[in-house]
Structure 1
Amino acid sequence: MTEAVGTHQTVYDLIKRASRVITPLSPINIFAARHPWANMEEETFEEVARSFEKTQNINLYPSESLLTSAIQRGEIQQDVIENKLAQWLKGRNDDLNIEIIEQYCKQKIMNDVNNIMISNHDKEKLEASLANMNKPYKNEHKHVLSSYIMHHSGQSCLDILNAQMIKWCKLYLDDTQSGWSIPKYGKGFYKTWNEMAHFDPALNKLMRHKIKTLPLEPIESIYYCLNRLGMTEDDFQTYLEAHLLSLPGWAGMLLWKDEQLVLVTDYLAIRLSLEWALISDESVELSNKDNIDITPIVSWIKCGMFTVDSWLQLSSENQDIYISFANDFDHITRHKLLLEAWEDTYEHRLKQEISSHISTEYKKEKVEAQLAFCIDTRSEPFRRQLEMEGPFETIGIAGFFGLPIEKCELGHHHTHNSLPVMNKPQHKIYEYVDTRQTTQYIEKKKSLSSLIYTFKKMKQNVLPSLLLPELTGPWLSLQTISRSFAPKSTGWLINQFNQKVLKKPETKLSIDRSQNDHNELPIGFTKQEKIIYVREALKLMNLTEQFASLVVICGHGSHSANNPYASSLDCGACGGSASGFNAKVLATLCNLPEVRAGLIKENIIIPEETVFIAAEHCTTVDDLQWVYVPELTDQATASFEKLKNVLPTVSRHANRLRLEHIPGMSRSKSNSRTKADRLSSDWSEIRPEWGLARNAAFIIGQRALTEQSQLDGRAFLHNYDWTKDLNGEILNTIMSGPATVAQWINLQYYASTVAPHYYGSGNKITQTVTGGIGVMQGNGSDLLTGLPWQSVMKSDEEYYHAPIRLLVVIQAPNIYIENLLNQNKTFRTKVENDWLLLSSIDEKDEWHKW
Structure 2
Amino acid sequence: MPHTSTFPSSTAPLVSHPPAPDLAAEIEHLAHLLPSQGPITVFVHHNTLHAFEEQPFHEAVVAAADLFDCHPYLPEAEYRAQLDRGRIRPADLDRELLAVLGDQGDELLGALGTRHALWLAMLERPLWEGPDAEIRWYIDETESLFRYRPEVETATRERVVSQTRRWVVRDYANGARERCPLKQEVDALIERFGGAIFESWNAGDWEPFTLHLLWRACRAGVDLAAESRPPRAARSGDRDREAAALVDSEMIRFCAAYLDQGLAPWRLPDCEQGLLRAFVNLHRGSKPQTAWLHGLPALVQEVDALGCDAQASIAASLAELRVTPDDRERVLTEALLELPGWAGMVWQMETNAEWTVRPAPRGTLVDYVAVRLLLQRLAKQRLDADPLSGRTPDPQGGESRLQQAFSVFQIAQVRGWTPVDLMSLSAYEWRNLIEEVDAFSSRERRRVYHQAYERQLRERTLDAIRAHAAGLKHAPALAAPEFQLVCCIDDREESFRRHLEEVFPACETFGFAGFFGVAMYYRGVSEATYRPLCPVNVKPQHFVRETPAYSAEGTSRRQEKARQTLGRAAHGMNQGSQSFLGGAIAGLLGAAATLPMVLRILSPRLAGRFASFFGRIVVPNRTQLTLERTAQSPGSAPDELGYSIDEMTSIVHGTLTAMGLTRGFARLVIITGHGSSSVNNPHSAAYDCGACGGGRGGPNARAFARMANDPRVRERLAGRGMQIDQATCFIGGYHNTGDDSYTLYDLDLLPTTHRGVLNRASKAIDEARARDAHERCRRFESAPLSLSPAAALRHVEGRASDLSQVRIECGHATNAYTFVGRRAWSRGLFLDRRAFLASYDPEADDKARSVLAKLLSAVIPVCAGIALEYYFSRVDNRGYGCGTKLPHNVTSMLGVMDGAGSDLRTGLPWQMVEIHEPVRNLFVIETTPEAMQRIMADNAAIDTLVQNDWVQLALFDAESLEMKLFQNGRFEPYQAPLSQLPRVAESIEWYRGQRDHLGFATIDPAAESTSTGATR
TM-score in terms of structure 1 length:
0.91
Does the CA-based 8 Å contact 1:386-1:650 persist in structure 2?
Answer: yes
Residue of structure 2 aligned with 1:166, choices 252, 264, 273:
252
SS in 1 for 2:745: strand
5 Å matches for 1:578-727? 578-629=696-747, 631-633=749-751, 636-667=754-785, 669=787, 671-725=791-845, 726-727=847-848
Q: In the alignment, is residue 273 of structure 1 matched against residue 388 of structure 2? A: no
Q: Which moved more, 1:608-617 or 1:552-561?
A: 552-561
Structure-1 residue corresponding to 2:578: 460
5 Å matches for 1:107-146? 107-113=121-127, 117=135, 133=228, 136=231, 146=239
Distance 1:788 1:740 in 2: 22
Residue of structure 2 aligned with 1:752, choices 861, 869, 873:
873
Structure-2 residue corresponding to 1:247: 339
Structure-2 residue corresponding to 1:818: 933
SS in 1 for 2:272: coil
SS in 1 for 2:540: coil
Name the aligned partner's letter for residue 801 of structure 2.
Answer: S
The share of aligned pairs that are identical, in percent, is 26
Distance 1:258 1:189 in 2: 11
SS in 1 for 2:248: helix
Structure 1 residue 41: deviation in Å?
A: 0.5
Per-residue CA shift, 1:308-358, capped at 9, x if unaligned? Answer: 999899667655544543343222221111111111111111112221211
Does the CA-based 8 Å contact 1:126-1:294 persist in structure 2?
Answer: no
Distance 1:318 1:520 in 2: 80
Name the aligned partner's letter for residue 898 of structure 2.
Answer: Q
Structure 1 residue 131: deviation in Å?
A: 7.4
Structure 1 residue 133: deviation in Å?
A: 4.6
5 Å matches for 1:188-227? 188-197=274-283, 199=286, 200-202=288-290, 203-206=292-295, 208-210=297-299, 212-214=301-303, 216-227=308-319
Per-residue CA shift, 1:472-497, capped at 9, x if unaligned? Answer: 33431322332232221122122122
Q: In the alignment, is residue 492 of structure 1 matched against residue 600 of structure 2? A: no
Residue of structure 1 aligned with 2:115, choices 81, 85, 101:
101
Structure-2 residue corresponding to 1:483: 600
SS in 2 for 1:564: coil
SS in 2 for 1:468: helix
Closer/same/farther in 2, CA of residues 497 and 245 from structure 1, 3 Å limit: same
Q: Which moved more, 1:476-485 or 1:362-371?
A: 476-485
Does the CA-based 8 Å contact 1:54-1:140 persist in structure 2?
Answer: no
Structure-1 residue corresponding to 2:984: none
Q: Which moved more, 1:597-606 or 1:762-771?
A: 762-771
Distance 2:18 2:376 in 1: 25
Distance 2:499 2:536 in 1: 31
Distance 1:805 1:497 in 2: 44
SS in 2 for 1:507: strand
What count of residue pairs does the alignment treat as equivalent?
A: 831
Name the aligned partner's letter for residue 395 of structure 1.
Answer: F
Q: In the alignment, is residue 445 of structure 1 matched against residue 563 of structure 2? A: yes
TM-score in terms of structure 2 length:
0.76
Closer/same/farther in 2, CA of residues 838 and 555 from structure 1, 3 Å limit: same
Structure 1 residue 735: deviation in Å?
A: 2.2
Distance 1:48 1:481 in 2: 48
Distance 2:243 2:604 in 1: 47
Does the CA-based 8 Å contact 1:621-1:677 persist in structure 2?
Answer: yes
Q: Which moved more, 1:325-334 or 1:609-618?
A: 325-334
Distance 1:307 1:378 in 2: 55
Structure 1 residue 387: deviation in Å?
A: 0.7
Distance 1:114 1:31 in 2: 39
Closer/same/farther in 2, CA of residues 258 and 641 from structure 1, 3 Å limit: same
Distance 2:424 2:19 in 1: 56
Q: Which has the larger radius of gyration?
A: 2
Closer/same/farther in 2, CA of residues 140 and 647 from structure 1, 3 Å limit: farther
SS in 2 for 1:226: helix
Unaligned runs of 5+ in 2: 1-15, 141-214, 353-361, 967-1016
Q: Which moved more, 1:689-698 or 1:179-188?
A: 179-188
Structure-2 residue corresponding to 1:303: 411
Does the CA-based 8 Å contact 2:674-2:689 persist in structure 1?
Answer: yes
Structure 1 residue 595: deviation in Å?
A: 0.8
SS in 1 for 2:924: strand
Does the CA-based 8 Å contact 2:882-2:905 persist in structure 1?
Answer: yes
Structure-1 residue corresponding to 2:154: none
Does the CA-based 8 Å contact 1:609-1:633 persist in structure 2?
Answer: no
Does the CA-based 8 Å contact 1:386-1:647 persist in structure 2?
Answer: yes
Name the aligned partner's letter for residue 336 of structure 2.
Answer: L
5 Å matches for 1:328-477? 328-358=439-469, 359-362=472-475, 363-390=477-504, 391-433=506-548, 434=550, 435-470=553-588, 472-477=589-594
Q: Which moved more, 1:819-828 or 1:201-210?
A: 201-210
Q: Which moved more, 1:207-216 or 1:690-699?
A: 207-216
Does the CA-based 8 Å contact 1:25-1:255 persist in structure 2?
Answer: no
Name the aligned partner's letter for residue 597 of structure 2.
Answer: T
Distance 1:204 1:501 in 2: 51
Structure-1 residue corresponding to 2:897: 776
Does the CA-based 8 Å contact 2:543-2:636 persist in structure 1?
Answer: no
Name the aligned partner's letter for residue 39 of structure 1.
Answer: A
Q: Which moved more, 1:323-332 or 1:443-452?
A: 323-332
Closer/same/farther in 2, CA of residues 140 and 534 from structure 1, 3 Å limit: farther
Does the CA-based 8 Å contact 1:432-1:510 persist in structure 2?
Answer: no
Q: In the alignment, is residue 14 of structure 1 matched against residue 26 of structure 2? A: yes
Q: Which moved more, 1:77-86 or 1:588-597?
A: 77-86
Name the aligned partner's letter for residue 541 of structure 1.
Answer: M
Q: Which moved more, 1:813-822 or 1:685-694?
A: 813-822
Structure 1 residue 175: deviation in Å?
A: 2.0
Closer/same/farther in 2, CA of residues 620 and 277 from structure 1, 3 Å limit: same
Per-residue CA shift, 1:419-470, capped at 9, x if unaligned? Answer: 1112211211111233535423322221222222112212333432222222
Per-residue CA shift, 1:543-588, capped at 9, x if unaligned? Answer: 1111000000000011212222222111111111110000011111
Q: Which moved more, 1:510-519 or 1:49-58?
A: 510-519
Structure-1 residue corresponding to 2:64: 52
Structure 1 residue 600: deviation in Å?
A: 0.8
Distance 1:245 1:108 in 2: 35
Name the aligned partner's letter for residue 775 of structure 1.
Answer: V
Structure-1 residue corresponding to 2:917: 802
Structure-1 residue corresponding to 2:95: 83
Per-residue CA shift, 1:121-168, capped at 9, x if unaligned? Answer: 999999987876565556989x9x6445xxxxxxx2222222222111
Per-residue CA shift, 1:505-533, capped at 9, x if unaligned? Answer: 22232332436797989632222211111
Q: In the alignment, is residue 293 of structure 1 matched against residue 398 of structure 2? A: yes
Distance 1:190 1:317 in 2: 61
Name the aligned partner's letter for residue 369 of structure 1.
Answer: F
Closer/same/farther in 2, CA of residues 288 and 534 from structure 1, 3 Å limit: farther
Closer/same/farther in 2, CA of residues 571 and 329 from structure 1, 3 Å limit: same
Distance 2:106 2:19 in 1: 48
Distance 2:510 2:736 in 1: 17
Residue of structure 1 aligned with 2:324, choices 232, 235, 239:
232
Distance 2:669 2:804 in 1: 38
Structure 1 residue 286: deviation in Å?
A: 11
Closer/same/farther in 2, CA of residues 78 and 606 from structure 1, 3 Å limit: same
